[in-house]
Amino acid sequence: MADDVRIAGRKTVRDWKQFRTALVPGAGPDLWEDAFRVYFEARLSSRYLRPIETLQASRTLDGEGFSILAIHCTLIEFLESTLQALSYRYVRRKDPPLKQDEYSESGKLFAAFLSTRQPFCKVFDPAIAADFYVGVRCALLHEARTKNGWIIKAKGPAIADVSAKNKIVYRNNFHAALLEFIQSYRMALPADGQLQEALVRKFNSLCE
């Protein structure tokens, strides 16, 4: 990728290459706060969070929840692949096998986020997360609809309501839960070497 390509707000590939030289084992918490704020958060805000908030602010209740959830679903895959330091690669039959840091199927990655990360794991077990992947994520991105009984509402008492009678995802609550997760990641990053290594590897891959 060319060095002048923007990867986070106005920050470019060149900026990241210069900045990452300071992100060594033992780097101080202020540097990791900068890594979060200037690169990770800036990328999420400009490409995902601010567009979602613009849609939320319309308050039309005229179907914008489909667009909001579609953006949420792409964001989830980016978050989990960052946590696991994985990069997506489309694999054809004659292609070489995946490397250890690559994946080609998003279903398991997506369901892992919902069923293991706070606060989503309070609502989604592995089975519900897998059903959400098919009935919401894949249905929205491939057919611009929900399937398998899932419906989208603006807000409610929880992230989602899944029972024998209901499969409801509350998109404003879902958004608030994503923001909560992102802030918990921010708090953990300066002291967690595994998260730090994964973040550097992910942004390195974005710059390839």
Span 115-173, pLDDT tens digits: 999 999 999 999 999 999 999 999 999 999 999 999 999 999 999 999 888 999 999 99
Asked if residue 51 has a cis previous peptide bond (ω within 30° of 0), the answer is no
Strand extents, DSSP E, the chain: 6-8, 11-12, 87-88, 102-103, 151-153, 160-162, 167-170
Percent of the chain with pLDDT strictly greater than 90:
85
Q: What is the mean pLDDT of residues 6-31?
A: 94
Q: How many CA atoms lie within 13 A of 126 on its CB side?
A: 3
* Average pLDDT across the chain, whole number: 94
Read off the pLDDT band of 63 (50, 70, 90): confident
Q: What is the mean pLDDT of residues 53-76?
A: 92
Question: Which sign, positive or negative, has the C-alpha torsion 37, 39, 44, 50?
Answer: positive
Span 192-206, pLDDT tens digits: 999 999 999 999 999
| pTM confidence score | 0.93
- Rounded CA-CA distance 55/135 in Å is 22
The dihedrals phi and psi of 104, each to the nearest 5 degrees, come to -125, -10
pLDDT at 7: 97
